[in-house]
């Protein structure tokens, strides 16, 4: 874990994991533009630097692998040292895992990598956020977990990713319940086909439940960021428990 710093300013403090690209970068930019001080966490410092250059205001860059407990401890120690508090955690870091691999052929190592990153990493960051938000004055804060429409319905050959996103929903509910006593609100955003590098394959065609290959519509990732910003800026007395934001024409609702 390495930390790289810019000049600090007072205000609301947000931490975004997986901030080096895609949804994480878009959300970090939206928060920065809205006046938040943003902590950028991710595995690739050069990608975090690219995100930081797109942000307005104060940033802190911390190289972090969320599946590693020591990295997560170091990340939150850096947040505490720099800012002394945390108002928002956007648990965004995740991986889809190998695509197109039938369940019976999925290596155990691939399963573990997806589970360790998507589910365990989210838990570790939420646990550390609880400790900080519980102890700070004023007490409380908000956690937003990046779920997926896969938290509702799977794609073919996506058992590890789908299992972790269903697990994310249970984690979100538990965090929301356990956080009440500390004024910690927790919600989840389930996203479908935001236009990022991870979903570029949607434009080329992806397998459907009926075995066919089909091109799927995508939406601007900035619309996801706008939704997260709305959730983030609610008073702690209000919470968006679950929000689903998806490309309007994607084959999800109904039978495709």
Provide the phi-psi class of 89: left if phi over 0, else alpha when psi is between -120 and 50, else beta: beta
Verify whether residue 161 is a known catalytic residue.
yes
What is the C-alpha R_g of the chain? 18
Work out whether strand 37-42 and strand 59-63 pair parallel, antiparallel, or are unpaired. Answer: parallel
Beta-carbon count within 10 A of 230 CB: 12
Catalytic residue among 36, 76, 161, 252: 161
- 206's tokens: 């992806």
Q: Alpha helix locations (H) across the chain?
A: 22-33, 45-53, 69-83, 108-115, 121-135, 159-179, 221-232
Q: What is the DSSP letter of 255?
A: T
Asked if residues 232 and 88 have their Cβ atoms less than 8 Å apart, the reply is yes
Catalytic residues: 161
């Amino acid at each position: 874990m390495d930390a790289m710093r810019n000049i600090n300013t007072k205000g609301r403090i947000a931490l975004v994991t997986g901030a080096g690209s895609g949804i994480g970068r878009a959300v970090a930019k939206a928060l920065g533009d809205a006046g938040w001080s943003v902590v950028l966490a991710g595995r690739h410092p050069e990608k975090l630097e690219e995100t930081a250059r797109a942000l307005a205001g104060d940033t802190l860059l911390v190289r972090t692998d969320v599946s590693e407990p020591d990295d997560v401890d170091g990340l939150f120690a850096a947040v505490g040292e720099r800012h002394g508090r945390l108002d928002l955690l956007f648990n965004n870091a995740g991986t889809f895992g190998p695509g197109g691999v039938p369940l019976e052929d999925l290596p155990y190592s691939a399963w573990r990598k997806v589970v360790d990153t998507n589910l365990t990493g989210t838990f570790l960051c939420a646990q550390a956020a609880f400790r900080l938000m519980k102890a700070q004055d004023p007490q409380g804060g908000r956690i937003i977990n990046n779920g997926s429409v896969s938290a509702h319905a799977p794609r073919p050959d996506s058992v590890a990713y789908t299992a972790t996103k269903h697990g994310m929903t249970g984690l979100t509910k538990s965090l929301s319940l356990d956080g009440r006593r500390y004024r910690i609100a927790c919600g989840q955003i389930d996203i479908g086909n935001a236009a990022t590098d991870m979903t570029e394959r949607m434009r080329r065609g992806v397998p459907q439940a009926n075995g066919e290959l089909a091109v799927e519509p995508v939406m601007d990732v900035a619309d996801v960021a706008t939704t997260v910003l709305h959730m983030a800026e609610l008073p702690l007395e209000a919470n968006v428990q679950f929000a689903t934001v998806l490309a309007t024409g994607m084959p999800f609702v109904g039978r495709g």
